[in-house]
Amino acid sequence: MANLRIVLVEPQEAGNVGAVARAMKNFGFDDLVIAGNHPQLLPVAGWWASGADDLLERARFTPTLADAIADAHLTVATTSMRGRTNPADLTPHELANEFASLGDPQTLALVFGREDSGLPNEILDRIHVAVTIPTTTHASLNLAQAVLIALYELHLAAGDATRTLPGPRKEAPPATTADFERFFTEAHQALEAIQFFKTRYPEHIMRSIRTLTFRAAPDARELSLLRATALEVVRFLERTGRVERTLPDDVSPRPPRHLVPRRQPGTGSDDAED
Ligand code: SAH
């Protein structure tokens, strides 16, 4: 992942600086730079940091913004004044996607302005991209709250980029096109058997089931389970005389043994294992 640096230009409220440190710690970022004049930070910033004092202690101070961003690969300014800047405006969500696509060891500097006047035009003219948090016409957010929202989005995107989804519980081969088609045929038969199509268009329903199933990307084992449920619907209705026998007894392939509902001896009740 790329590094993220938060740059505060001339912050005026020590409490805001502390709250920024807290938000950074909440979302896993720790490179804080304060550019230009700033108030006495301690003790107020420490109170607002609420457990993120370590981050305040490691904060760096530079005389100007130029010093703070000299080694950054991408500099992004945040502003509530949408459209005032030349570069394309992004939302924090869009910025997060950009960030996720930047590789290590690139550094993205995210720049925030003064509480009373924001970032001056000279700065906005020089930066690569501007980010605006969508709001009502009451567009100016508290400095630390603006940082919080931006970092939340970046945190989500960084998590998505590094999070690995757990694999299937048991190793199973991928499902083939033929497996899918068998399931769709059997699902169609089952829905017909319960008269699901009486008031609905089979074509529309089956299209949705296809889309949903493909999106879920079941493996061969999971698809066998789905097929078993469809087959058992029809078998149940046949057994209980509610529909004419439509399925041949040797409908194949049968789902793997462990997926076939277990029959309690003597009771005839079903108890699926999965
Ligand atoms: N009166 C100033 C307020 C600045 S608030 C102005 O309107 O510019 C302090 C900083 O918080 C801003 O410089 C900007 O970095 C950030 N900020 C506030 N509201 C924002 C918004 N809607 N979108 C993006 N950043 C915002």
In the reported structure, the alpha carbon of residue 14 is separated from the centroid of ligand 1 by a whole-number distance in angstroms of 17
Q: Are 19 and 26 in contact (CB under 8 A)?
A: no
Name the residue with tokens 């300014």: 77
Residue type at position 25 = K
Range 61-90 average pLDDT: 82
| Residue ranges covered by each domain of the chain | 3-162, 177-271
Say which range, 54-68, 218-232, 246-260, has the weakest mean pLDDT: 246-260
pLDDT tens digits for range 125-181: 777 789 999 999 999 999 999 999 999 999 998 876 555 555 555 678 888 888 888
Q: For residue 53, is pLDDT > 90?
A: yes
Best residue among 81, 114, 141 to mutate for probing ligand 1, ranked by most atoms within 8 Å of CB: 141
Q: Are 11 and 115 in contact (CB under 8 A)?
A: yes
Name the residue with tokens 């567009």: 139
pLDDT tens digits for range 188-207: 999 999 999 999 999 999 98
| Average pLDDT in the chain | 84
3 state DSSP class of 95:
helix
Please, which contacts does 116-120 make with residues 24 or more away whose CB atoms are closer than 8 Å?
A: 116/12, 118/79, 118/80, 118/81, 119/9, 119/77, 119/78, 119/79
> What is the homologous superfamily of the domain 3-162 according to CATH?
SPOUT methyltransferase, trefoil knot domain (3.40.1280.10)
Q: For residues 162 and 193, give the distance between their C-alpha atoms in angstroms, rounded to a whole number.
A: 46
In the reported structure, the alpha carbon of residue 50 is separated from the centroid of ligand 1 by a whole-number distance in angstroms of 23
Q: CA 2 → CA 29, 60, 80, distances in Å? A: 11, 19, 25
Q: For residue 261, is pLDDT > 80?
A: no
User: Among 241, 16, 242, which Cα is nearest to 114's?
Assistant: 16
